[in-house]
Amino acid sequence: MTDRQQPGFLEAIEQAGLLVEIWEHFPENMFLIRVEGPDFLVEAANPKMTELFGQDCSGKRLHDFLPWSVAEEVVAHYRECLRQDAPLRYEEHATFHDARGQEREGHWLTLLVPVHDPNGTITHLFGVSQNVTELRLARASLERYNRDLEAVVDERTRALNAVNQQLQEANRQLEALASSDTLTGVGNRRHFQAGAEREMERARRHGGALSLLMFDLDGFKSINDQDGHAAGDAVLRKVAASVQTTLRANDLFARYGGDEFVLLLPDTPLAAARQMGERLRTQVQEDAGVALSLGGAGFEAADTQLEMLVQRADAEVLAAKRARKAK
């Protein structure tokens, strides 16, 4: 068949009614691009594509009806399809003006298929371009919504974490207030009792040594009466600070009431506890200028309550006071 006898593209599809129907009524852009050396011309465009551009693009170069930058991007895809000599799918975004000067913008998903002559040379590129603008806009809207939602979640998470930190700090402060003596800063009676009972149970279970020291300040009432309660409070704070400098990490120290203090010494026999008591007496005398009356008690198997140790130690404190007065 000579070149003159070869039917044109439209003539060829007119010979097949089904192809004509597809070409005329396909809801997306269909087009045939003729390859002319380094250039590309629109040989045919279906009605949907003609409607998009508002003009018949047949016989025109892409640069004739598209902005230069847009045309260059499209041509780059055409050249890539030629280079690969294989179908090429890509998505493109374009903004252009139709024949009436109306600005058109959108996103298209395009499939290019190279068409060969009998010699295997690519003569045309057949393309189908689907308008995915609405899908793109919906996706962008969803992505914005997700970003906004993530921002809200992050903000609320940070706010919640801040509140949790504040609550934790408040709880720590409340726990400290509940377990500390407000005047001296050492443990209070309730905190001491809870810790001492745990240590007694441990000593009972494992048979370890456990000792309790109790002391109060000699002449403390006279300090309050002569110098005032502020002076008495200052002495109590000095005594507590002095004792704390000699404590081990697992020792329990508390203000038991008034000018009475208790000290629980885990893993410490009573004899060693008494020696420590004498060192405390000397230390407090140097630091706070006040004498101590001191008593001790060692944990025994029959001790079912902390008060039993406290009573024995307190009895020694009273005995020490009587002995001082008798001198």
Q: Residue 16: helix, strand or coil by DSSP?
A: coil
> What one-character DSSP code corresponds to residue 199?
H
Distance spanning both ends of the chain, measured CA to CA: 143
pLDDT at position 121 is: 94
pLDDT in tens, 136-184: 878 878 888 888 888 888 888 888 898 888 888 877 777 766 788 989 9
Neighbours of 79 (CB within 10 A): 13
Q: Which of 216, 259, 303, 314 is catalytic?
A: 259
The CATH architecture to which 9-131 belongs is 2-Layer Sandwich (3.30)
Decide: 170 and 220 in contact? Cβ < 8 Å.
no
pLDDT at position 1 is: 40
154 is catalytic: no
Question: Which of these, 283, 291, 280, lies nearest to 321 by C-alpha position?
Answer: 291
- The ranges of the chain with pLDDT < 70 are 1-17, 96-101, 176-177, 327
Residue 146 parent element (H or E): helix 133-179
Superfamily (CATH) of domain 189-326? Reverse transcriptase/Diguanylate cyclase domain (3.30.70.270)
pLDDT at position 238 is: 96
Q: What's the one-letter identity of residue 185?
A: G
